[in-house]
Amino acid sequence: MYMRFILCAFHLTILAVSASPLSLAGQAQWPLYGSRSGQSASEVRQRLTRQSEDICRAGSSQWTGTVPIGEDRDMFFCGSLEDQYLCSWLTGKGYFESRADPETAPLIIWLNGGPGASSLLGAFHEIGPCTVTKDGNDTVRNDRSWTNFANMLFIDQPIGVGFSEPFPQNTSVWPSNLIESGIDFDKFLDIFLDELFPALKKGPVHFAGESYGGQYLPVYASITRRRFTSIILVDALVSFAANTLGTYEHLCINRWGNTTENRLPINATACAIMETTYPICDKFGSLCDATYDPEVCFTAVEKCAPIGDFLAALVQSGEFDPYDDRLTCEDPPICGHMGMEEVELYLNSSNVKSALGFPSSFDYKVVNFDFNVKWMAGGQAFVPKTRELIDILDNKHTPILVLNGQNDIAVNTEGVLHVYDNLQWSGQAKFRTKELEPWYYKSLDGNVVTGGLVKSNGNLTVVAIDNAGHMSPHDQPVGVGQVLQQWIAGGYRPR
């Protein structure tokens, strides 16, 4: 049951490792996974098509086009009239110009998770400049979009996801692990930032991702030669074992008194059963962290299974929405819905696909379940990404901001703090021993309100967000937006 639950719980995220930190032993993969088409940037620019607000009521110019980077590996992009700030898509991604001074605004690159989830869910439901209406027939302006203070680039990746699915489908070109998809991602940035729109790389470039993005971002940021201005991890899964330990704590121990008034009671018998599994899960999770061995990590998942089984039973009974413990699966929206149906309906409309250059027969999916099953079937999917995070902090000296909804069970704050308290980087001692403090933001009516809890040391900051589930920027757009705006302006710190 636990394996079935994992597939269900993490493919909805608006989400290959050896014993050493991501050795690129397969350098011969470059011709296969990053081959160039031979087209020049000028030839690509001749294929631009200006889009109207009919596609996304963003309040800024939008352009679309295609950049072939290999057989069945087209990258689709859109941008502004001046070709400086572009709506870019990896065969279905979007870059949206900032509403405020785009020439000086930073760039935020956004990835959803899954694995297999389209980043257009983030663009059209969560933080993008427009939101799909509930009937799935139109969009409305999102006044709380991150485009208020940043240029946004949404990428459908890996190949096989969203509009990055070859047409007709060709599963042989799907990458089979994070190293291969990371090479694709790096080559996309080469073309986009170096050849096509070099003006963008002159300013800050932040790299953000959600849920299974906790697997994508550490790997991609670690293997690329470029250094991002910061890494932003949103309800992001880094370690399955730590997350399972956090599941017990979330359900049975209200450690920080977070605002979960609607949390259903968990009886003492159920918690006692989970407690017997806790030390075994912790032991094998530690072995997984120490070895980075896929078989050991898969064993850790099996040893942690009783805790996951219990949560799965609660979800199946309708008692809990794993993405927001304030909801049950019987409440509207349907458990784990998160805007998926209306976004998929809208992007499959004939006028949108026509405008983006896709045939009406193309079947856009918010989540490619076949891709999800393929990736989760391999033991490498359960290897944590702690070594890569250490590399990012200590070798690349890149700041990391972690945002997590206090009402998220699927990627719970308790498990997130397990990861970062035990992360063996140079600033571990001070970070681990610091107490969580309240953080504050200004509400729309001008009042200063408590947003949740935070702790920070050096380049690592973890922010827990009250009254927010798995899509914390969607649930608390004002508070999270203010934290983000302060972060990209020079680094958010508790106050």
CATH number at residue 240: 3.40.50.1820
Q: Is residue 268 part of a domain?
A: no
* pLDDT value of position 452: 95
- Domain span at 407: 2-244+340-488
Q: Is residue 295 part of a domain?
A: no
Length reported for the chain? 495
Report the candidate in 125, 127, 91, 132 with the shortest Cα–Cα distance to residue 109: 127
* pLDDT value of position 49: 62
* pLDDT value of position 357: 79
* pLDDT value of position 57: 85
* pLDDT value of position 320: 82
Q: Is residue 260 part of a domain?
A: no
- Answer yes or no: are the C-beta atoms of 151 and 98 closer than 8 Å: yes
Q: Is residue 410 part of a domain?
A: yes
Q: How far apart are CA 23 and CA 34, in angstroms?
A: 17
Dump the DSSP string for 59-96. Answer: SS-EEEEEEE-STT-EEEE---TTSSS--EESSS-EEE
Q: How far apart are CA 12 and CA 338, in angstroms?
A: 8
Q: How far apart are CA 265 and CA 242, in angstroms?
A: 23
* pLDDT value of position 376: 87
* pLDDT value of position 32: 25
- Give residue 249's identity as a one-letter amino acid code: E
- Count of domains observed in the chain: 1
Q: Is residue 286 part of a domain?
A: no
Q: Is residue 296 part of a domain?
A: no
* pLDDT value of position 43: 45
For the stretch 354-361, contacts whose Cβ atoms lie closer than 8 Å and that sit 24 or more positions apart, written own/partner, are: 355/49, 355/51, 355/54, 355/55, 355/64, 356/55, 356/64, 356/76, 356/92, 356/163, 357/49, 357/64, 357/66, 357/76, 358/163, 358/167, 359/167
Q: How far apart are CA 431 and CA 482, in angstroms?
A: 23
Q: Is residue 33 part of a domain?
A: yes
Q: Is residue 407 part of a domain?
A: yes
- Answer yes or no: are the C-beta atoms of 437 and 455 closer than 8 Å: yes
What is the Cα 167 distance to its own chain's centre? Answer: 25
Q: How far apart are CA 485 and CA 495, in angstroms?
A: 15
pTM of the model: 0.87
* pLDDT value of position 5: 34
Q: How many CB atoms lie within 10 A of CB 408?
A: 27
Per-residue pLDDT tens listing for the chain (495 residues): 333 333 333 333 322 222 233 332 322 222 222 333 444 444 443 345 666 788 888 776 666 656 566 666 664 554 332 333 333 333 434 556 667 676 778 899 999 999 999 999 999 999 988 999 999 999 999 999 998 888 888 888 998 999 888 878 888 889 989 999 999 899 888 877 887 678 888 889 999 999 999 999 999 999 998 999 999 999 999 999 999 999 999 988 866 554 444 455 578 888 998 999 999 999 999 999 999 999 999 999 999 999 988 888 888 888 888 999 888 887 655 677 788 999 999 999 999 888 887 889 999 999 999 999 999 887 788 999 999 999 999 999 999 999 999 999 999 999 999 999 999 999 999 999 999 999 999 999 999 999 999 999 999 999 999 999 999 999 999 999 999 999 998 866 555
> Tokens for 124?
């059209």
